[in-house]
Structure 1
Amino acid sequence: MAELELPLGADLERAVAAWLAHLRHERGHADKTLEAYDRDVRQFLAFLARDLGHPPCLADLARLDLKIFRGFLASRRRAGTVSRSLARSLSALRQLFRWLEAKDIVENRAILRLAMPKVPHSVPKPLTVAKAAEVVEARGEAELDWVNARDVAVLLLLYGCGLRIAEALSLKTKDAPTDERDVLRVVGKGEKERLVPVLPIVREAIARYRELCPYQLEPDAPMFRGAKGGPLSPRIIQLAMQRLRGELELPATATPHALRHSFATHLLSAGGDLRQIQELLGHASLSTTQAYTEVDRDRLLAVYDAAHPRS
C-alpha cells in the first residue's frame, strides 16, 4: 500500500491525528474501526496528492469540490472496491470534515452532497433451534477431555449469552459466572459495558472446563486457554465449528458468529422485546438489532394477525 505512505502537509497530519484521537477517547470507537477510518482517509489523501501534484494541506481541503470526491470513489470502484467499503470510506471522510468544521479548522460541505453508495442488504443467517442445540451438545467427550469442555463452554457463551467470539475469549477468570453470580459483565465494542444473564447450562459448562483445565487460571488472565496454555485463539473455535459443519451437515453459514445471530433470533421468536435484545447484544443502535425482525418475519406476522383488531 505504497500510496498510503505519501506525505501530508504538517498541519493536515496533525489534524488527522487529532480527529482519530477524538474518535478513540470521546466517541469510544474500537481499534479496528479506527484503523479502517485512518486507512480510508489516507487513501483519499493519497488520491488527492496525485491530483494536486503535492502533499495536501488543510488549505487544499477547503477548496475541494464535489468532482474530486466523485473521482476518488470512481477510482476505488475501478480498483474493485465493493460498495460496502466505499460507503465506509465516504462515512469516514464525512466524519472528518464535520469534525474539522466543528473545530473551526476547515469548512467544506461539498462531500455532504454526495450520495452514499447503495449497499446490498444482508440479513443474519441463524441456525434453527434444533441445529443450534446439536452444536452445543455435539462435543460428547466434554465430561473427560478439557479441550472439548473448553469448546463447549465457548460455544455456549456465544449461543446462550449472545457474546461475540472476541468477548467470550477475553473473559477473565475472576469474571466467570458462578452459582452465586449468574450475570456476566461484558466489555464490547467501543469499550461499552453490559450485563448479560447466564443460564445454568452455561455456568455448568464453564465450571466443568475450569475443573478439567490442566493450567493454572490466574484471576486476571484470560480464562480460556489454548493447547499450550496461552490465550485461546478465535481461529481454534472457528476450526471447531468447521468440523461440526461436516459432522452435523450444517450450512456453510454456520460460523461462531451465527450462534450469536441464533441467540437473538430465537429470543425474538420466543417473544423477546427488541430493545432488551439490543441491550443483551450490546448494539449501539436499535437499527442494527432490527435486522433480526426480517429473519423472523413469519413470527412477527403471526403476532400481528393474532393481536391486531382488524386482522
Structure 2
Amino acid sequence: MAVLCLCYGAGLRIAEALAISANDLDTTSIRVSGKGAKIRIVPIIASVQNAIDEYLKACPFEVKPSDPIFRGVRGGVLSPRIVQLRMVQLRSALGLPPSASPHALRHSFATHLLGNGGDLRTIQELLGHSSLSSTQIYTQVDTEHLLAEFQKAHPRA
C-alpha cells in the first residue's frame, strides 16, 4: 500500500500522507503540510516514488492535481481509519505485533535514521517537530545494544 510506504519512507503522519496532492510531489521530494499548517520539504527515496507512481497508474479515479491523491473505494478521500484497518490486516497476515501501526512506521523511520548516523536536528526537521524534545524520544537506546557498544568500546571491558 503506497500510503504506508510513504509513512515509513518519508516519516509522515497518516494525516500528512493522506493530504498529499500531485502538486506536492516532485521526483525527489515531497511538500508536506504538517501540524499547525507548517510546510516542510521531505526527500523521498526511489522505492517510495515508485510505489506512488504505481498507485496513481492503478487508481481508477480522476484526481485534480490540487486534490489528495489517495482515494477510497468510492473515489472520496481515503480515510485514516481505512489505513489503520489495512495495517491491522497486514499485521495479522505477517504475524507482526499489535504495536505495528502506521505511526510505528514513522517512529521506525526516525529510529533507523538515527541508528544509521542521522543527526537529531535533521531528523527533527524531517519529522516536522517544532521542539527537539519531541524528537529525542528516538534516542532511547535498548539495553542490549548499549551493552554491546560498551563491550566493544570500553578499554577494560
- For the criterion TM > 0.5, the same-fold answer is yes
Q: Is 1:290 aligned to residue 139 of structure 2?
A: no
- Amino acid across the alignment from 1:247: A
1:271 aligns with 2:117: yes
CA distance in structure 1 between the partners assigned to 2:156 and 2:114 by the alignment: 24
1:1-311 correspondence to structure 2 within 5 Å: 152-178=1-27, 182-296=28-142, 298=145, 302=149, 306=153
Say which one has the larger Rg. 1
Distance 1:217 1:288, change over 3 A: same
TM-fit CA distance, 1:232:
0.4
Measured in 2, the distance between the counterparts of 1:288 and 1:207 equals 32
Unpaired stretches in structure 2, ≥5 consecutive residues: none
* Consecutive unaligned residues in structure 1, runs of 5 or more: 1-151
Residue 240 (structure 1) shift: 0.6
Pair 1:204–1:230, CA change in 2 (3 A): same
Q: Is the 8 A contact 1:269 1:296 kept in 2?
A: no
With normalisation by structure 1, the TM-score equals: 0.47
The one-letter amino acid of 1:252's match is P
RMSD: 2.2
Name the CA shift for 1:196/1:300 in 2 (closer, same or farther; >3 Å).
farther
Give the length in aligned residue pairs: 156
- CA–CA separation in structure 2 for the residues paired with 1:224 and 1:234: 10
Per residue, is there more helix in 1 or in 2?
Answer: 1
Q: Between the two structures, name the one with larger relative contact order (CA 8 Å, sep ≥ 6).
A: 2
| Percent identity between the two aligned chains | 58
Secondary structure in 1 matching 2:140 = helix
Deviation at 1:165, TM superposition (A): 0.4
Q: 1:197, CA displacement in angstroms?
A: 0.6
